[in-house]
Chains A and B, each alone.
Chain A
Amino acid sequence: MAAHTQFSGGFQNAPVDAAHAFRAAMTVMARPGEIRSVSGCQPPAPLSVAAGVLLMTLCDPDTKVHLAGATNADAVRQWLTFHTGAPLTDATEADFAVGTWQALGPLNQYRVGTPEYPDRSATLIVECDDLQQTGPKLTGPGIKGTAHLSLPDVRALQTNASLYPLGCDFFFTCGDTLAALPRSTQIKDRG
């Protein structure tokens, strides 16, 4: 790549790259605690590769995206609009939200769905400095026995899980690695 211009860094082979990324996203969401690496696009800073790949794969003109904190930069907005056409919105209406844990909070401003339509909730893409299979203990659907995942804030995520079947779902991204925490997972601080 000669120069990184405002629109470059998208999927080179969109159908195949997006299918691989979608499979990775589904796998980590189905098996909380599992970490997968994804590739295929080079988003502008400060988005991580994994967050960029997720946005490219999951967003389209029908999904409202909230860019929290430092991710709400001109370069990111232009890149996202060019590649996905997703409308940008504030936290209360977002289908997807991207940012660091500090920038995204507080959690109670995001949509959690309604009892009739629990799917009308937000999915948060949390940019982490570190992503490890250590830390709080996870149990629940998709986990054989127990799993561990480094989570940013156990208390807030426990509160979110207690809303089940409502609540938000989370992707955690760090560099090109990806993990997820659906609302159905029970979290225990190992303490």
Chain B
Amino acid sequence: MSARFLSIMILALALAELTGRAQEQNFCLVCHSEIKVDYLESIHAAFNVTCVACHGGDPTTLDSRAAHALEAFFRGTPQRAEIPELCASCHSDPMRMKPYGLRTDQYAEYQTSRHGKLLAQGDTRVAVCTDCHTAHRILPAWEPRSTVHFENIPSTCARCHAQRDQGVHSAALAKGNTKAPTCATCHGAHGAAPPGVENVSKVCGMCHLAERTHFESSPHKKSMDAQNIGECASCHGSHTIEPTDRKLFDTVCTNCHGADSRAHLVGQKIKTLLLAADESLREATHLLEQAQQRAVDVSAYRSRLIEARSYFLQALPVQHSLDIPHIEELTRRAKSIADDVRSSLHSFQGVMAIRLLGLTLVWVFLLLLMIVIYLALRERRGEHL
């Protein structure tokens, strides 16, 4: 009796598993099997938010007409224009979202976004929730397969926007740098909008805080705002930001300033100061690494080089202020320490000389020892010199 009961239970459980055990009486997936896999993977399925929440209808019957009846509040596929509001019906409800610890201001933000504003004007080509999050395979943003996982955001945005970032930021992102900015970092996610000209430095300054502070104290700030010139982007670009290179002083400054102008000379002066310090630091670092690999004690120089590098790193954002004396002071300190370390490390040949001297002394001792043994050997054998 009990064996039969157990068999029936196992069969029932297996059947429940096959038809989607997690879905209580959700027969929708029996017919709509094409979305079954996507849906069952989603966060909605995990928390038992069934098809009926978005599409209405009666999920408890296998009768197609009854399931899709208007009496069962069947809504079908929502219109694109309806989607944000539909999602917001749950996601803007603090009572519903509280158990999951989710924020509820996405819809409000969306309405302020370029997407939301155009949708309100009747343009249904703009992105709605499902374009970024997908309709059925909605995964949490921390899940690497999610379309809104930080690594996937560029490709998700690129489905509509051709202006894909191809500069240092996307390169850093491709290398797995979790702190690298994505489209959403600069433009916002639900409140996505292009930053205004006067706001560019504020957006960039969210990460490049020191650069922003120094830029705002520079003569560039006032004149650029007055002439409506995009601040950071005018020199560094927006979506194709190249790695910072001193060559920028040769190529970018002349876009606004004449090659013979005083402003251009200021740029060249900054470039020379930075280049000299950088080269000196690189050479010192190279020598330090070389000495380390050759087992020379460099601990004293290591900390000095860190100090030099910190001066140089301070000079990098300060260059945006165009404050020559300040830049000069920092680069001079960096360069003088690096040069000092360089000259000291050049003399690691001296360490080798001391080692060779020690080796020679040991060899003298070893040779004497060999002679003594040889003499003892001869004496044992009764031979005399």
Do A and B make up one complex?
Answer: no
- Which residues of B does A touch, CB under 8 Å? none
- Which residues of A does B touch, CB under 8 Å? none
